[in-house]
Amino acid sequence: MGNPLHAFPPACTQTLRALARYPSRVAFSWPGGSITYQSATDLIGRIQKVFMQTGLQPGARVAFLTANRADSWCAGVAAQLSQLAITWLHPLGSLDDQLFQIEDCEAEMLVIDADTFRDRGGELAAKATGVKTVFTLGPAACGVDLLAAVDAAGTASPRNFAAPDDIAILNYTGGTTGKSKGVLRTHREYGGWANATLADFEIPDIPSYLAVAPISHVAGTKVLPTLMRGGTVHMLKGFDPEAVFRTIARERINFTLLVPTMIYVLLDHPALGRHDLSSLELLLYGASAMSPSRLVEGLERIGPVFSQLYGQTECYPVSVLRKADHDPKTPEMFLSCGFPVSACEVKVLDDNDQEVATGEAGEICVRGPHAMTEYWKQPEQTAETLKNGWLHTGDIARKDERGYMFILDRKKDMIVSGGFNIFPREVEDVLSQHADVAMVAVVGVPDDKWGEAVTAVVVAREGAKPNADELINLVKTKKGSAHAPKHIQFVKELPMTGVGKVDKKVLKAGFWTGRDRMVG
């Protein structure tokens, strides 16, 4: 999908350029420390010197397991400059998931954050076949202490040895609907996402960015844009609401990125009103849909700072719902995933790859310089996803007359009940507007009469006791009887993936064995 010309310089080159521009500014800050732009450049150069001495061949994969920390991010840049391909293991992933990723991408080097993942790092180092070199950030029982090796290496200026067709990164999909896949980008494809973000997201002029979600995933896509603007990345190692409030107030944070579940926790926290959050200009949210009623609450209590991002591992970003679109006077817009970013060509296509009429349902398909190169070692799925020159996202949506997109659901999650095609998202959007509902997920459950029965799994708001019949009738009134849930199940929490999405695979599996637990 990439054209032979450079659409954008490689991301690692853009990083060095950004760091060189503001040498004395603080690039990264965290509880107990900070590092300037110049020091970050020096650290990248010294880590690169250590990596280049390992004898790994160009294209070898390096797996990272780390919490949010500046030195591990710099190590990722150093690896890419050295013609090594990086893959981030999910910090909340299981041992099996992390081992699968290491084995699948054939990683030869492992970099472990010894402070946070000492035990898990040891397990991975012991079990991962094919790994030749293990580095740890700090002393540990396994591997070589990278920080000590860097100190011993002396100074070195970072240099880019990577060519446009070298592999830059292998990101792995969330695996909510099937086995996780490795999404490969060469340096040519990996150069454009930061520019696309700066062009269409309302990033403050001098960003003071709070990275609280894992930078191994979507929160990490805001680090380079922050540095390109001469800002500071403030890092927290985990989501602690009190720490988030304190950091925003103390550091005058002007933008952050959170998943909806984190926002709900902040809104429900008694300390929300006791901290000064007035510096916040932009609160990006994504990974899953946000309840419209909770969004209204957020706008009232935190301010008109909300902006929704949409994209996926295979292409990020695709669209954005900007702050002005979050107007309580037009709440119907809260259900939109936004307007396509200028770096993307986006169409809603039918099964024959023909554009559907305005308002009709079809699959979101994308072309852009930052779309993936291919799925790692999966030529058939690559051909299916990159059919006819378009990246097929698997998300079913409709477009309005202005071009705003409204996601109906994942293609694979569609429920066929009584001969009707029902998209769970449409039912979830109705139920989430009810004041007693904190979170909801809708799945199809095997049913002798209907084929699949529409089933809603509901988490009630604190102190509320929603009535199942009332919720069923709400959907019946808004969407018709075919969409109305046949069953409602109330639970304390929904199963979530590491990136904050509801894990419908786990939800569905529960119903195959536990259908007697349903209420309603």
Q: Residue 351 CA to chain centroid, in angstroms?
A: 27
Least confident of 165-169, 386-390, 407-411, 492-496: 407-411
Hey, CA dihedral for 75, 76, 77, 82, is it positive or negative? positive
- Report domain extents, the chain: 11-18+39-187, 193-344+367-393, 414-517
Q: What is the largest CA-CA distance in the chain?
A: 72
What pLDDT is recorded for position 174? 67
What pLDDT is recorded for position 518? 35
Residue appearing with tokens 């100190």: 151
Q: Which of 226, 256, 253 is nearest to 19 (CA)?
A: 226
Contact 36, 26 (CB under 8 A): yes
Cα 374 from Cα 405, distance rounded (Å)? 25
Cα 145 from Cα 138, distance rounded (Å)? 5
What pLDDT is recorded for position 513? 54
pLDDT of 263 > 60? The answer is: yes
Is pLDDT larger for residue 14 or for residue 448?
Answer: 14
Q: Which of 219, 242, 176, 238 is nearest to 494 (CA)?
A: 176
* Percentage of residues in the chain having pLDDT higher than 90: 69
What pLDDT is recorded for position 108? 97
Q: Which of 86, 99, 153, 106 is nearest to 127 (CA)?
A: 99
Q: Which of 340, 372, 368, 335 is nearest to 168 (CA)?
A: 372
Is pLDDT larger for residue 290 or for residue 354?
Answer: 354
pLDDT of 357 > 50? The answer is: yes
pLDDT of 217 > 70? The answer is: yes
Mean pLDDT of 35-41: 98
Structure tokens at 25: 């500014």
Structure tokens at 451: 């084929």
pLDDT band at residue 293 under the 50/70/90 scheme: confident
pLDDT of 401 > 50? The answer is: yes
- CB-count burial class (<10 Å; 0-12, 13-18, 19+) for 463: exposed
Contact 454, 422 (CB under 8 A): yes
Mean pLDDT of 217-234: 96
Mean pLDDT of 487-494: 91
What pLDDT is recorded for position 299? 96
What pLDDT is recorded for position 498? 67
Cα 281 from Cα 260, distance rounded (Å)? 18
pLDDT of 48 > 50? The answer is: yes
Q: CATH number of the domain at 193-344+367-393, please?
A: 3.40.50.12780
Structure tokens at 364: 């979101």
What pLDDT is recorded for position 54? 95
What pLDDT is recorded for position 290? 80
Contact 171, 182 (CB under 8 A): yes
Cα 446 from Cα 440, distance rounded (Å)? 19
Q: Which of 368, 392, 342, 310 is nearest to 189 (CA)?
A: 368
Mean pLDDT of 132-140: 95
- Within this chain, domains 193-344+367-393 and 414-517 share the same CATH topology: no
Q: Residue 301 CA to chain centroid, in angstroms?
A: 25
Looking at the DSSP assignment, which residues form a beta bridge with residue 488?
Answer: 456, 519
Mean per-residue pLDDT of the chain: 90
What pLDDT is recorded for position 97? 86
pLDDT of 327 > 90? The answer is: yes
Residue 492, number of CB atoms within 10 A of its CB: 6
pLDDT band at residue 6 under the 50/70/90 scheme: low
Structure tokens at 237: 């190692």
Mean pLDDT of 167-181: 78
Instruction: Express each pLDDT in 83-124 by its tens digit.
Output: 999 999 988 888 888 999 999 999 999 999 999 999 999 999
Least confident of 146-160, 350-364, 383-397, 401-415: 401-415
Cα 156 from Cα 504, distance rounded (Å)? 48
Instruction: Express each pLDDT in 460-469 by its tens digit.
Output: 988 889 999 9
pLDDT band at residue 292 under the 50/70/90 scheme: confident
What pLDDT is recorded for position 516? 40
What's the fold here for domain 414-517? GMP Synthetase; Chain A, domain 3 (3.30.300)
Indicate left, alpha or beta for 174 from its phi (over 0: left) and psi (-120 to 50: alpha).
alpha
CATH class of 11-18+39-187: alpha beta
pLDDT of 178 > 60? The answer is: no
Secondary structure E strands in 373-480: 374-375, 391-399, 405-410, 415-417, 420-422, 437-447, 451-460
